Amino acid sequence: MFKGSNVALITPFKDNSLDEESYVKLINFHIQNGTNGLVPAGTTGESPTLNHDEHQKVIEICIKESGGKIPVIAGTGSNSTEEAVSLTKHAENAGANGALVVTPYYNKPTQEGLYQHYKKINDNTSLPIIIYNIPGRCVIDMSVDTMAKLFELKNIAGVKDATGDLNRLDQTIKKLGPEFIQLTGEDGLALEFNKRGGVGIISVTANIAPKQCADMQKFSKSTNNDDIRKAELIDKSLQPLHKALFIESNPAPVKYAAKILGLCSDEIRLPLVNIQKKTEEEVNKALSNAKLID
């Protein structure tokens, strides 16, 4: 169910409130441009600064507006296990197809603590759970052995791997097998990740280049040499954009790009701030290189 280009949806704001009109517009923009799955209320959606009502509303609107056309993997992670359980239960009741659960940040749990955190969520839902392993933001790194132990549970389905280490992909396939869903969280590695056995991505760049990201995913899994070449050409055109969108803290650069493309404002919540002028220039150059603007 979860493969190809899944977008880590940004959350549009207007006057520090959820901009529902722009959010609905974004969801339909993705459906029309071939995105394979929607991921609302993840960290790219600024989940740390959404209040509980907003977090739930963002998920509910996404499920309702997508209307079952493509899967919705709701962001339900927290560094509080009880909160993660509550958010996951809500997502299931709202009709989500899966849950993306980030490793607990700041607390620095042990591997056993990680196991018990995900087990508690697993035991309180029937949704497929995608582990989000992002050591660069959460400080902790879930080991392959812990992941293998979790995969024995009924609802642990896969991982969003944002370690940036392609060897981790190889190790995980060897230990857990091909049934364990492996999605990368690194846009710049998406093509190579698929070549080495991954099945897709949860993407930041797809917010503003959904068709290119979806096409690259589709062509990269083809056995046709011409399709592989198409995937490589798309990947090459997007590489400068992947880099530009992380010059400053995500999602500030991608929100700026979304504003340039007329998708929503670039309003962002503190402690994140709008990008600097020199970063704007780099994002503009990358958008032009990808032929998203003239």
Residue in 23, 115, 118, 132 annotated catalytic: 132
CB 283 within 8 A of CB 292: no
* CA trace torsion 146, 190, 210, 266 (10° rounding): 70
- 160 assigned to active site: yes
Please give the Cα distance from 166 to 147 (Å, whole number). 16
Single-letter amino acid, residue 125: T
Phi/psi for 130 (5° steps) reads: -105, 120
Handedness of CA 137, 140, 143, 148 (dihedral sign): negative
- 259 assigned to active site: no
The DSSP call for residue 104 is: P
Residue in 3, 57, 160, 255 annotated catalytic: 160
Q: For helices 111-122 and 144-151, give the axis angle rounded to 10 degrees.
A: 20
Report how far Cα 67 is from the mean position of its chain's Cα atoms: 20
Active site residues: 132, 160
